[in-house]
Every structure is written in structure tokens, then in C-alpha cells.
Structure 1
Amino acid sequence: MIWKQFDQLLVALQELIMGNTMLKCAIADLGIQWAGWAVAAAFKTEKFYDLAGSGTFVLLAHLSRMWGGANHVRQKVQTGLVTAWGFRLGTFLFMRILKDGHDRRFNHVRDSPGTFFVYWTIQALWVFMTLLPTLMLNIDKGDATLGTRDYLGWAVWGLGFATEAIADQQKWLFKTDPDNAGKFIRSGLWAYSRHPNYLGEILQWSGLWLSASSVMQGPQYLSVVSPLFVWFLLRHVSGIPILEKQAMKKWGSDPTFQDYIKNTPLLWPWPKF
């Protein structure tokens, strides 16, 4: 009797998982990150951490559209934009860590499997929370005529994509120039924002939420937590605070850097006259 009830429970659980696309995406997300952790912990390396994260974004975007069963234009564009973001950023970060040989975020982490596991699990949360509007869009079989919010959202995404890509390239070229050794960048987009790459990141996910909101109803609008989560993470947790602290430690006594801090916005730029 007990075994029969256990079998029934397993069947019900299997049906729940197989019939719930959002749940399947969450399980796939966790499975990929935990598998990545197992390999990374065994080899004590963080070299493919960011690549695994961006790759999961791309994979889940396509899986959710496939599992959702619909194939509308809005879903195709949304999935394509996530794919473009993932390939560009993932490739850039992977090339950067291959060049640098390590990531300072993991200096006291890679030798501790337990702490490393937390980092990989947090990455799973980051992927799911950030991708939430796209997942909701892709599993919804409903459709609506493309409108102002779609085009405006895609335009915001395009602005963010260009901003992040240009900022990353400018900093890469700056750091590869031997004459800039030990210096900080304050040219190009970096003259208008101290973290233009993060600004571009926030704009991209804000644009994708705006487009997806064209077909949202009721509680689905709460997925605005996606761009807010990206902003909070970069502004207050893992991005800007760490880099600002490192910069102050390295150049804090430099009058040129003090002038840069005083006259250049932290994140959101304003026109210079």
C-alpha cells in the first residue's frame, strides 16, 4: 500500500514537472549551474563561470519557446535578443578571463567547494530572475499585434546593447595598451559614466521587460522585478561597490582620479556643457 502511494506521488510529481514549463526551466537552470559547480570545484577554476551563466540564458530562452508551444514574432525577437546578448557578453567575459588568468571575485572562493557552491547557486537565481519576463512571454500561447511598447522596448535594448559593447571594447583596448599600465580609463563612454557597461546591461533587460509587458496581465506585471533586480545587483551588491572600492584603494590619492570621481556620474550620465 505504501509503495503504491509512493509510486502515485512520483507519477503526480512527474506530471507536474512535465506540464509546467516554468518549473522545467527552473530545474534546468539549477541543474546546469550545479553541474558547472561540480566541474569547477573539481578543477578549482572559475574560468567558465560567466560563460556558463550567459549560456544558460540562451538555452532557457530557446527551451521556453520550444516548450511553450507558440511561435509568435514577439517571442522570436525576444529570444533572438537574449541570444545576441548572451553570445556577445559570454564570449567577451570568457576571452577576458583567459587573458587575465583569473577573476579576483573568486580569490578566496575557488578553494572552498561549499562557498563556491553558493556562488553557482546565486548565478542560477540571477539567471532565472533576470530572464523571468522572457520566460513568461515564451510560455504564453496568447499573442497581440506589435505596438509601441514592443518597438520602444527593442530600441531601449538596442541602446543598451551598443552601450555595453562599446564600453567593454573601449576598456579592453585601453588595458591592452602598454602606455596605460597602472592608469584608469576616463575616455569614450567612460567620460560620461564611471560604469557605462553596467548602464548598458540595465537598459537591455529594461527594454526586454517593456516589450514583454505588451501581452502581460495582472500579476505578470510583477516581473518588472527583473530589471530592478539587475539594477540592485549591479548597483549595490556585486558590481559597482566592489569596483569602486578597488578603484579608491588603487587611485584614491591621485588628484586626477579625485577630479574624475567628482565630475563623472557613477552610473546614469548627464550632458556635459
Structure 2
Amino acid sequence: MTTTHVLDDYYLAITLLISVAYQLFFFCIAFGFKFDKVTDFAGGTNFVLLAIITLALSGTHHARQIVASLFIMVWGARLSAFLLFRILKTGKDDRFDDKRDKFFSFLGFWIFQMLWVWTVSLPVTILNSPNVTRFHQPHFGRATDIIGVIGFAIGMIFESVSDVQKYRFKNSEEAKQPGAICDVGFFKVSRHPNYFGEILIQFSIFMIAVTPASAHYVRGGAYHALYASMLGAWFLTLLLMFVSGLPLQERPGAKKRYEKGVGWPEYATYLHRTPILIPFFPSLYARMPVFLKRTVFLEFPMYVFDPAKHSD
């Protein structure tokens, strides 16, 4: 098979156009019928669609391309399936209560989702593009490949298992008790093990995709493009750490518990013993100096709730 050139030699334009069209299609359904059940499904399956199309257009099926494409497909399919199952059970998504009837506010979310999918897909998109596949690929199995495969496996276990653990906890009798804390399974060693897994997955896929550049098989613009595709993993990391993930859950969640006055001492102990993101032993983390928690374990002051400063 021969490589198909479409719009540009890195497949950036075609993948962006596909993402825009795919998300607008589901946006019309969601806005027209006030239907929350397709929103996250559209995001996860978009990754699968882009990986399949770019791999098919590439005309070459090197082991590295297949592995990287398959990994992002597995991740996207698992994520969309779980979120679809969860929304079918809950019935609606509370995130859109103030946007569902407002055209431009609701559309803004979908535009952001387009950019999220396109950006996070960059390592696979560029790896499958004509400007990279024209170079000879190194044998799959180098150190970065092995690290990437191991990292992906660990990330998938953390993300998928913790999603199930949290879902089961929320639907348990224990969760109905005032001040209940989700400290089951992976939540014993990380307050957000699903985020840790998701970040690890994306950096692992990047490591696999960038091997031809790091091994000096790929030269010129393709070399720089592969390294630049790290933007996808960093975009997702910054999104979870500073925009829509931890900032919306950490301090606001602690503030809510404190002001309700139910189970706050127990929750404060949980915060003290459990890392915010990177898994670690609770007994050791509890004795760790604050400086190390703020630097090595990324528990930045913006996440910390101080009753004297932040409570009403």
C-alpha cells in the first residue's frame, strides 16, 4: 500500500476537520434534544476514529504505528464506554445544568472538546503521517518502546480500575453515610488515581511515537514534529491539574465538607495521609515534610484548603 497525502504531510488539517465535523454532529443531537448521553461518548470515540483513519491513510503498518494507534483506540473506547454507562445510570450530566439551554455556552464546551481530541491525538497522528512514514522505522522493542508499553499498562490499570472503584463506592451503602470518604482501592494511595493513570497513558503513547526521532532514524521537520507532539500529553496534564480537574475538586470539595461540619476531621486526616496525584504509601506520606509534598508530589498551595482563609 502507498501513503495517501491529504491536505498536509502531517495529517493535521484532515484530523482537525474530522474532529470538528464529528463533534458538531453530536452537538446538534445534544443541543436539539437536550440529551447529555452522547457528550463524553463523542469525545472518547473521536480518538478511535482519528487513529483508524490516520493508520489507514498511512499505507504502512509498522509495529510501532499499530501499537501506538491501538493503545489510543483502547484508551478512547474504554473511556467512552465507561462514561456512557455512567451517564445511562445517572440520567444527566450536572456539568451542563447552566449550559444545556444556552447555544453558545454549550457550543463552547464542544469546541473545547474538539481541540482536546485533536491535540491529545497528535503523537499518533504525526507518527502515522506521510512525513514520518517515509523514513525507515527502527525495530520495535527499544528501551523507550518498552517503557511506553509498561507505562501504558500501568496507566490503564490505574484509570480503569479506579473509575470502577469510585463508581461502586458512590453506589454503596457506605457512601450514603454523612461524611463518607472514598478511600477504597487505589484511592488509599492517591486522591485522584484515575487522573494519574490518564496522564501516564498519554506520556507513554508519546514515548512510543517519538522513538524513531530519539533513535535518529527520522530527520528534519519530521524529527521536530514528533517531539512537538508531546504537546498532547502536556495539554491533558495541564487541563487536569490547572483547569477542569483538580482545581474544581480539591479546595472546593474540602470547603464544602468543612462548612457542612460532617466528617471534617476524618477528611482532613485523609488529605494529610494521601497524595493528591502520584500514588505513595499513606504512612510515609503523612510524615513527609510539606516542602516535598508541594514539589515532588505536586500538592500545590492552590489545592490546599485552609479553614482560616477559605471558609465562609
Fold conserved between structures, TM > 0.5: yes
Deviations, residues 78-130 of structure 1 (Å, cap 9, x unaligned):
11111111121111111111111222211111111111111001001000111
Other-structure match for 1:206: 203
Aligned to 1:63: 53
Question: Contact 1:21 / 1:67 at 8 angstroms: preserved in 2?
Answer: no
Q: Which moved more, 1:192-201 or 1:20-29?
A: 20-29
Secondary structure (helix, strand or coil) at the match of 2:114 reads helix
Alpha carbons of structure 1 residues 191 and 131: separation in structure 2 relative to 1, 3 Å? same
Residue 247 of structure 1 and its aligned partner are, at CA, apart by 2.0
Q: What is the one-letter code of the residue matched to 1:157?
A: F
Matching residue's letter, 1:123: Q
- 1:243 and 1:104 map into 2 onto residues whose CA distance is 14
User: Secondary structure at 1:17's aligned position in 2?
Assistant: coil
For 2:162 and 2:76, the matched residues in 1 are separated by 16
**How many equivalent pairs are there?**
259
Runs of 4+ in 1 over 6 A off after TM superposition: none
Query: What is aligned with 1:188?
Result: 185
Corresponding position of 1:255: 265
What aligned pairs does 1:235-250 form with structure 2 within 5 A after superposition?
235-250=241-256
Correspondence for 1:3: none
Q: After the TM superposition, which residues 1-273 of structure 1 pair with which residues of structure 2 at under 5 Å, given as runs?
A: 17=7, 21-139=11-129, 140-141=132-133, 142=135, 143-146=137-140, 147-182=142-177, 183-216=180-213, 217-252=223-258, 253=261, 254-271=264-281, 272-273=283-284
Structure 2 counterpart SS, 1:30: helix
CA deviations over 1:204-256 (Å, ceiling 9, x no partner): 00100011010231343121111111110001111111122452244234111
Contact preservation (8 Å) 1:21, 1:68: no
Which 5+ residue runs of structure 1 have no aligned equivalent? 1-14
Question: Deviation of residue 260 (structure 1)?
Answer: 1.0
RMSD: 1.7
CA distance in 1, matches of 2:50, 2:17: 11
Displacement of 1:19:
7.0
Q: Is the 8 A contact 2:126 2:225 kept in 1?
A: no
How many Å separate the matches in 2 of 1:232 and 1:50? 19
Q: TM-score, normalised by structure 1?
A: 0.90
Q: In structure 2, list runs of 5 or more residues that go unmatched.
A: 214-222, 285-312
Q: From the two aligned structures, give the one with the greater helix fraction.
A: 1
When structure 1 is superposed on structure 2, of 33-42 and 16-25 the one drifting more is: 16-25
Evaluate the alpha carbon distance shift between residue 175 and residue 22 of structure 1 in structure 2; reply closer, same or farther with a 3 A threshold: same
CA contact (8 A) 1:133 1:208 kept: yes
Distance 1:188 1:251 in 2: 22
- Cα 1:95–1:245 change in 2 (3 A) is farther
TM-score by length of 2: 0.79
How much does 1:71 deviate? Answer: 0.9
